[in-house]
Amino acid sequence: FIFDECHRSQFGKTHGDITSYFTNAQLFGFTGTPIFADNASKNELGKRTTKQLFGECLHKYVITDAVRDENVLRFSVEYVGKYKAKDGVELDVEVEDIDRAEVLDDETRLGKIVDHILSIHDRKTHDRSFSALFAISSIPTLLKYYDLFRQRREAGGHDLRIAAIYSYGTNEEDEEAVGALPEDDTLASEPPTTYGSGHSREALDRIITDYNAQFGTAFSTRDQKGMENYFKDITKKLREREKANAKDRDRIDLVLVVNMMLTGFDAKKVNTLYVDKKLRYHGLIQAYSRTNRILNEKKSQGNIVAYRNLKGATDDALALFSNKDAKEVIFLPPYEKLVGQFIAAYKQLLELAPTVRSVDDLQHEEIKLAFVKVFRELIRLLNVLKTYAEFDWRDLPVTDQVFAEYTSKYLDLRESVQRQGTKEKQSILEDIDFEVVLVHRDEVNVAYILKLLARLKEEENTDKGKDMRKQIMSLLSSDVELRSKRELIEKFIAEHLPKITDPARIQDAFTKYWEDQRVLALQKLCEEEHLDQKQFANLIESYIFSGQEPLKDDVFKCLEARPSVLKAREIGERIVERMKEYVEVFVRGMVA
């Protein structure tokens, strides 16, 4: 018998039933968090360890190994207590060494935590391109948090899409709320669902009603199937965010939980865990590990924001499951150290290109390669730094404007490499990953540019207006997604914006302009490639929906005449590439 996640499944009666019936069975257990004497929980069968159930450990591959091998990400852990933020806002959430429920559950404290989460959430999740979980001590406290988030949303304080899930009728009073974990506490797993509790069920019905209104669903708690489908829908939405064809309308920003989803649940688009409950040993490691699955360059670490004093518990858990020196490997360095690394890397950049314009003067490929490598390191560091609550551009030796200008030059180099890629001469830059995902900000799209244009129109012929125009042009050249649209947007600004007198009409004027340009571009592409426009438009729609590159045969069906065998591959690849460019210009980043 081979048991996965054996720390969860093999400590009850069933294990004994299996071993007593299959007397000559061989049992193998796999777990990322084995049960030792230190973290063993007691049930009706007593305290037992993984070693007692499965024998001697055959092989260890611990979290430090996984981090070193780049199979999982490191953690950035922030313990939020009493401090004064740089913007002058005082935060005091009474976090240190509190064990009194009346203090922990006080709505003033909970309200401060809600406000803190709202103030840092976009930063932690890279402007909502990732989702977060919020682990809460008990169901009653979860309901208080949910109502506080809801009140702030109704008052216009945020527009986060928030869901909540718990098993009602169980664990109504969770002793974890005061930090007193009982002997039989499972530390991170939800007890079996028991239906029939009044208050929790009514509250969950209200939460699900909000969810249905937000996502156009029809779930309820009237039967077990309805609850299961609600839970499955939440997990599906979180898991499918990583897919190329994921729709923004299905985005969940934050899920409030008590124990559910803190163990055994994986979604690569979850990168942050807020914690207001006691965790320890395997429960802590399991909960933290919901955030550190590898995805892409933008997901540089798993973020943990603790509103309880979990530092000692975190250190104990790491020592138990890896070694006492694991912190150096598993945790990101403090903010100040990362700032120091950024400053050092920026000095290297200035040695290569002391000004933005000097990037254009880089002659030798070896020097260009050095510039690309050092700037790539800078955008990696900035990507991490921006997730820290205390991030401030004033701590860095460069302004965001100058950095954006350097970014534009970096992308210019990338485009020059792509243009030369078809030439016979091999460039050493062709093998470099420019990691362009790190130079796109999800909040910067065409809708955002249109808002800036409306403000620009209001400030026309003023110094502020000149600065805004410069900012817009900088964004168009430094954001990887907007660069493909730059020429058309600049044309709109030059030829159409001066004719618009009312800033409120800019959106409609741009929509018409963009649709006209899209139709012209599609007509031109089809004429030049001898494609049936209707069939090719359908092929484009299919590509946008599925995210899958079309088969060459499907491309050839759109052609007025099938190409010869000798030219088929070249023509097919060229059309697919032009189709991607069309989608990049007219579809990507057009979210309102």
Q: What's the confidence (pLDDT) of residue 480?
A: 66
* Residue 320 · residue 187 · CB < 8 Å: no
* Whether 339 and 390 share a structural domain: yes
pLDDT interval class at 78 (50, 70, 90): confident
Residue 518 lies in a domain: yes
pLDDT interval class at 524 (50, 70, 90): very high
User: What average pLDDT score do residues 18-46 get?
Assistant: 75
* Whether 195 and 261 share a structural domain: yes
Comparing CA positions, the residue from 190, 188, 182 lying closest to residue 42 is 182
* Residue 69 · residue 84 · CB < 8 Å: no
User: What average pLDDT score do residues 204-220 get?
Assistant: 92
* Whether 107 and 197 share a structural domain: yes
* Whether 431 and 570 share a structural domain: no
User: What average pLDDT score do residues 423-443 get?
Assistant: 47
Return d(Cα 222, Cα 227) in angstroms, integer: 8
pLDDT interval class at 13 (50, 70, 90): confident
Residue 298 lies in a domain: no
Q: What's the confidence (pLDDT) of residue 525?
A: 94
Residue 110 lies in a domain: yes
Residue 293 lies in a domain: no
Cβ contacts of 440 within 8 Å, gap of 6 or more? 479, 480, 481
Q: What's the confidence (pLDDT) of residue 8?
A: 62
Choosing from 439, 454, 476, the residue where a domain stops is 439
* Whether 96 and 126 share a structural domain: yes
Looking at the predicted structure, is the pLDDT value of residue 393 above 70? Answer: yes
Burial of 184 (0-12, 13-18, 19+ CB in 10 A): exposed
pLDDT interval class at 425 (50, 70, 90): very low
User: What average pLDDT score do residues 49-74 get?
Assistant: 82
Looking at the predicted structure, is the pLDDT value of residue 324 above 60? Answer: no
Return d(Cα 251, Cα 343) in angstroms, integer: 36
The chain-wide mean pLDDT, for the chain, equals 81
Looking at the predicted structure, is the pLDDT value of residue 158 above 90? Answer: yes
Return d(Cα 577, Cα 573) in angstroms, integer: 6
* Whether 122 and 202 share a structural domain: yes
Looking at the predicted structure, is the pLDDT value of residue 242 above 60? Answer: yes
* Residue 469 · residue 456 · CB < 8 Å: yes
Comparing CA positions, the residue from 171, 166, 170 lying closest to residue 203 is 166
* Whether 153 and 276 share a structural domain: yes
Q: Report how far apart, in Å, the C-alpha atoms of 25 and of each of 2, 18, 21, 38 are.
A: 10, 9, 9, 28
Q: What's the confidence (pLDDT) of residue 172?
A: 41
Residue 498 lies in a domain: yes
Residue 233 lies in a domain: yes
Q: What's the confidence (pLDDT) of residue 407?
A: 87
Range of the domain at 35: 2-54
* Whether 129 and 29 share a structural domain: no
* Whether 141 and 223 share a structural domain: yes
pLDDT (tens digit per residue) in 470-522: 778 877 776 767 778 888 888 998 899 888 888 888 989 999 999 999 999 99
Return d(Cα 535, Cα 111) in angstroms, integer: 55
Return d(Cα 561, Cα 529) in angstroms, integer: 10
Cβ contacts of 472 within 8 Å, gap of 6 or more? 449, 452, 453, 456, 493
* Whether 427 and 572 share a structural domain: no
Residue 140 lies in a domain: yes
Looking at the predicted structure, is the pLDDT value of residue 430 above 70? Answer: no
Q: What's the confidence (pLDDT) of residue 428?
A: 43
User: What average pLDDT score do residues 150-155 get?
Assistant: 94
User: What average pLDDT score do residues 103-125 get?
Assistant: 89
Question: CA torsion sign, 566 to 572 to 578 to 580?
Answer: negative
CB count within 10 Å of CB 522 equals 18
Residue 292 lies in a domain: no
* Whether 543 and 504 share a structural domain: yes
Of 80-89, 461-470, 506-515, 582-591, least confident by mean pLDDT is 80-89
The domain tally of the chain equals: 4
Q: Which of 58-62, 202-206, 328-332, 515-519 reaches the highest mean pLDDT?
A: 515-519
Choosing from 439, 465, 495, the residue where a domain stops is 439
Q: What CATH number is attached to the domain comprising 350? A: 1.20.58.910
User: What average pLDDT score do residues 77-95 get?
Assistant: 56
Q: What CATH number is attached to the domain comprising 97? A: 3.40.50.300
* Whether 309 and 350 share a structural domain: no
Give one word for 578, left, alpha or beta, with left for phi > 0 and alpha for psi -120 to 50.
Answer: alpha
